[in-house]
Amino acid sequence: MPNQEYVDIYSYSSGNGGGKNRKPKKKMKGWKKALLTVCSVFLILAGALVCAGWYFLGDLNIDTTFPKSDEELGIQSTEEKVRDDSITNIALYGIDSRTHDDQGHADATMILSVDKKHNKLKLISILRDTQVQVEGYGKAKITTSYWWGGAPLAIKTLNQNFDLDVRDYVRVNFDQLADVIDAVGGVEIDVTQEELEEINFHMHGIDIYDKDLYETGMVTLNGDQAVSYARIRNIGTDAARAGRQQEVLQAILAKVQAMGVAEYPNFIKQMAPLVTTSLDYGEMISLASIMASNPTLETYTIPGEEENAWGGVDEGAWVWKYDLEAAGDHIHRIIYETDGEESSTTSE
């Protein structure tokens, strides 16, 4: 499994306010911001695949119709952009869909860069309210591109707006991930009193009243509690919310690391039905080989400080606005480590 070292680069402002004087909603839309938990699903599957083989991934959904040409994926070949065959970029999508199908907004959008050259896994989150151009639709939030055209249009939107070369994807529906967390025995999270209240508030919003959290400090959260923790929107900024999501990822990875090899098959069988991907078994095994070299895991969020993003209302919707070309250059430097810029050093 990867070293538990993180580089965190965040946006420092939030367009989402929110006070405490509100009534619980009767329905909530699943995990809207569990960006890094999406990645944890893929990494756990990939790492365990080396040991377990693909027999146990029989329930994994392989998208054999996904387009592969540069034109269909919106990839532009330019001499200015460095490409490296030792680095593979994959889009990770967390979909808010209660019907377990491809319909839903990509409320979690991330680029996973598998960097065998530098022995790193790099996770780059793109905030869902980022305003982009969506082919055939015009200006819109990046989350909406998946709703309109599934993974093909969502990846094309990523590539066209940020000048990237993302060629594959992994998609997860979040409405069942509480079961996955329960399958590892819950996750250890340091919870404040304010977060405790938000966790219980979110669970009450989806009619869960028998799993209230009563303790603060380092506690073991069950699946429903961890989902609610990752969805907290009313404490701190977008950066704080992303930090909570990263805590969930780290806690899941720690639990999986502690598993014995004999426990992997059952765990994989539970997770496989939740995942759809354009990668075939051979590609997954090839990518998973980096896990044996104990890679460093780095995380980033776009927009970050470098983007100087600002939020505002455009045509009735709150959006993030920033220079997408400059952001694309930033992402490119993160992925390929051109000009020696890695954004910062890893933290202990």
DSSP string, 219-261: EEE-HHHHHHHHT--SSS-HHHHHHHHHHHHHHHHHHHHTS-G
pLDDT tens sequence across 293-343: 778 888 888 998 899 999 888 888 889 999 999 999 999 999 999 865 444
pLDDT top residue among 239 and 343: 239
pLDDT tens sequence across 193-232: 999 999 999 999 989 999 999 999 999 999 999 988 987 8
Q: What's the pLDDT score for residue 346?
A: 37
CB 270 within 8 A of CB 181: no
Band (247; pLDDT cuts 50, 70, 90)? confident
pLDDT tens sequence across 60-114: 788 999 999 999 999 987 666 667 889 999 998 877 655 555 566 777 788 999 9
Residues paired with 138 in a beta bridge: 134
Residue 113, C-beta contacts closer than 8 angstroms, at least 6 positions apart: 87, 88, 89, 90, 120, 121, 122, 123, 124, 334, 335
Reply yes or no on domain 35-181+260-340 having CATH 3.30.420.590.
Answer: yes
Q: What's the pLDDT score for residue 246?
A: 66
Q: Where are the domains of the chain?
A: 35-181+260-340
pLDDT top residue among 177 and 309: 309
pLDDT top residue among 343 and 134: 134
pLDDT tens sequence across 8-63: 333 333 334 333 333 333 333 344 344 445 555 555 555 544 444 555 566 678 89
The number of angstroms, rounded, from the C-alpha of 307 to the middle of its chain's C-alpha atoms is: 20
Residue 66 is given by DSSP the state: -
pLDDT tens sequence across 187-198: 999 999 999 999
Q: How far is CA 134 from CA 103, 106, 174, 322, in A?
A: 17, 14, 24, 16
Structure tokens at 70: 């540069």
Task: Provide the pairing of β-strand 61-62 with 275-277.
Answer: parallel
Give the whole-angstrom CA distance, residue 184 versus residue 161. 38
Q: Is 272 helix (H, G, I), strand (E, B) or coil?
A: helix
